[in-house]
Amino acid sequence: MSRMVERAQIGTPSFAELFGHPFLVAADAPGRVNLIGEHTDYNGGLVLPLAIPQRTRAELAPRDDDRVRAWTANLQREIGEFRVGSERPGRGWLDYVQGITQALHVAGHPLGGFDLRVESTVPLGSGLASSAALEVAVLRALREAFSLPLDDVEIALLGQKAENGFVGAPVGVMDQMASQLADERRALFLDTRHLRFERVPLPAGIEVAVIDSGISHHHAGSDYRLRRDECERAAELLGFPQLRDLDIQDLWRLAALPEPLDRRARHVITENARVRAAVAAMQEGDLERLGKLMCTAHDSLRDDFEVSLPEIDLVVDLARSEPGVYGARLTGGGFGGSVVLLTRAGEARVIAERVAAEYRERTGKNGAVLVPQFS
């Protein structure tokens, strides 16, 4: 079992208080912050996420029937219920659990009912993969409780299928793979088409901080879906299966695309190149280069992909004005969420708190430092 997470809320009921018996297994999974490689995963591209200290914990006990009773400390006070094999969407956070049981059934992994208690310190709607942390934590607990023959990649893929097919969020596989496979000191260099990955240690002399803009986002929303549709349409018009199939030398082809598809494709193509360059910079310890790549990635998300917001841009600009910051960029799907900062070692906390305070003063938004630094 993974390490315990801190209680999400003080005084929340225990598993035994909720269900009248103890839990049998417990598992947890982290959220993630993406250093670079945004909106590339559903295009078959490259990403570079890290796990964050905040985690989601699932406590579970099998039942002798097909009922599932589930409760979360973070979103509700009542126990939700459904029957395995009779899942129906439209029930809020419970859809993630229903999506998991349905995905397991479709994949040929039968299971009975169970009682489930969830709590999380991964903030919701902040671009830090709270839904993936939930999916992976629950799947890990189910794997142990029902002796399911699932490897790590299968767990990530099942989590993605639950979110795509049942919840209706057209996300790529980065979040689930990162929650399952990443750690806090080594970035996960992931090829999302072939599911090949390499762990790349963070260079000495840097720290990572995350600042929440206070503006929540939702991957099932129309803007995120529209960007994915635009990418798929651009690839189709260019005659390629995915934008991943194009490289920097193919940028001339984008002149054949209408607006804004040309800019959407340019972001994906150049972002994949930036991920490769960022990995090389990390391996060489070139912190200035790594920071510049992060800044260029944000500019591309803002101008070519148009998923940033004025408030996010303000956090980025404030961070970039700090002498101890190598780079800063929007992290996550956009339309709100968080900004990731790369700072000199020993300065992440002070810089992030100063930037967040200035942001709050200028906007009135509840900007907060979520990950002051990695341990």
Instruction: Name the burial class of residue 255, with classes exposed (0-12), middle (13-18) and buried (19+) by CB atoms within 10 angstroms of its CB.
Output: exposed
- 3-state secondary structure at position 244: helix
Q: From CA 25, how far away is CA 6, in angstroms rounded?
A: 17
Widest Cα–Cα separation across the chain = 65
Question: Which of 181, 265, 173 is closest to 219 using CA atoms?
Answer: 173
DSSP sequence for 176-187 = HHHHHH--SSEE
For the annotated catalytic residues, the residue numbers are 175
For 92, other C-beta atoms within 10 Å of its C-beta total 11
Tokens coding 336: 């709100």
Closest CA to 156 of 183, 137, 170, 184: 137
Residue for token pair 């057209």: 170
The whole-angstrom separation of Cα 130 and Cα 338 is 13
